[in-house]
């Protein structure tokens, strides 16, 4: 009986030692409340599309995860595409009807990204831009 109690006590001690952080280890995994291992929340950037422009508060971003909120304030359908510095497309919204909006999730590394509207000939009419990520 004493041997079993000793084994239980040693097991409890070993489990507590492996917890790695005192009281925060018992607060539930995935909560992200105290650890530096959880991913930072995505930043939101709003893009406004009209004929034939794409505007945003800043074309200079820092590397990280983003939610692009794309609003069509124009009279024609639009969409938003984004490509990496080497030209590889990494995301696009569906076609957004006038007055509508869509979101796009992207993770950006340092570099110069191209954004554009691929509806009809909108890109050729100047509906494109550059995002600089540092």
Q: Is the pLDDT of residue 131 over 80?
A: yes
Environment class of 121 (CB within 10 Å of its CB; exposed 0-12, middle 13-18, buried 19+): exposed
Domain count, the chain: 1
Q: What percent of the chain has pLDDT over 70?
A: 71
Does 3 reside within a domain?
no
Does 119 reside within a domain?
yes
Q: Is the pLDDT of residue 7 over 70?
A: no
Q: What CATH code is carried by the domain that includes residue 105?
A: 2.60.40.420
Does 36 reside within a domain?
no
Q: What tokens were used for 2?
A: 């004493």
pLDDT value, residue 90: 97
Does 16 reside within a domain?
no
pLDDT value, residue 46: 98
Q: Is the pLDDT of residue 114 over 60?
A: yes
83 vs 30: which has the higher pLDDT: 83
- Whole-angstrom distance, CA of residue 45 vs CA of residue 25: 34
pLDDT value, residue 41: 85
pLDDT value, residue 36: 52
- Whole-angstrom distance, CA of residue 3 vs CA of residue 6: 5
Q: Please choose, from the candidates 133, 129, 134, the residue with its C-alpha nearest in 3D space to the C-alpha of residue 55.
A: 129
In which domain, by residue range, is 111 found? 43-133
Task: Give 16-67 pLDDT, tens digit per residue.
Answer: 343 433 333 333 333 334 445 666 788 999 999 999 999 999 999 999 999 9
Does 100 reside within a domain?
yes
Does 68 reside within a domain?
yes
Does 32 reside within a domain?
no
Q: Is the pLDDT of residue 75 over 90?
A: yes
Does 26 reside within a domain?
no
């Amino acid at each position: 009986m004493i041997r079993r109690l000793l084994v239980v006590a040693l097991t409890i001690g070993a489990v507590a030692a492996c917890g790695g952080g005192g009281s925060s280890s018992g607060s539930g995994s995935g909560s992200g409340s105290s650890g530096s291992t959880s991913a930072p929340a995505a930043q939101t950037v709003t893009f406004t599309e009209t004929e034939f422009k794409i505007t945003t508060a800043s074309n200079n971003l820092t590397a990280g995860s983003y939610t692009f909120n794309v609003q069509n304030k124009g009279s024609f359908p639009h969409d938003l595409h984004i490509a990496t510095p080497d030209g590889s497309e990494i995301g696009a919204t569906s076609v957004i009807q006038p007055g509508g909006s869509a979101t796009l999730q992207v993770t950006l590394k340092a570099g110069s990204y191209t954004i554009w509207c691929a509806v009809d000939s909108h890109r050729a009419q100047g509906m494109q831009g550059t995002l600089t990520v540092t």
